[in-house]
Amino acid sequence: MKEVAVKEIDVLEASHQMGHWLDSVAAGAEVVITRRGRPAARLVAVEKPIVRFPDRSALRAELPPMQEGATEIIRALRDDARF
């Protein structure tokens, strides 16, 4: 498991320099905010969700083969354009 640097700051410092501490958290640090010397909150980075796309290989296998390639289609669209 990866070692995470933990920094303790008080509430006043957290409120005055929140942007700095958020940058530290985004870089991988963990920040504990204390109130009167006791831990009150912990700032940790939000884990980015892994986006999984459904398997479409069966659908693609059912499609008929293209009669002409993308190059020919684009060329025809350009030739027909009214610019």
The pLDDT assigned to 2 comes to 58
Number of compact structural domains in the chain: 1
pTM for the complete prediction?
0.52
Residue 49 maps to a domain: no
Positions of the chain with pLDDT under 50: none
Q: pLDDT digits over 49-69, tens only?
A: 888 999 999 988 999 988 888
Residue 37: which CATH number? Answer: 3.40.1620.10
Contact 33, 42 (CB under 8 A): yes
In a domain, 83, yes or no: no
Q: Which residue has the tokens 């350009």?
A: 78
Q: Report the candidate in 41, 28, 33, 29 with the shortest Cα–Cα distance to residue 8.
A: 33
Which pLDDT does position 32 carry in this prediction? Answer: 93
Does 13 fall in a domain?
yes
Task: Please tell me the predicted confidence (pLDDT) of residue 83.
Answer: 58
Domain that holds residue 20: 6-43
Report if residue 26 sits inside a domain: yes
Residue 61 lies in a domain: no
What's the CA gap between 44 and 11, in Å, rounded? 16
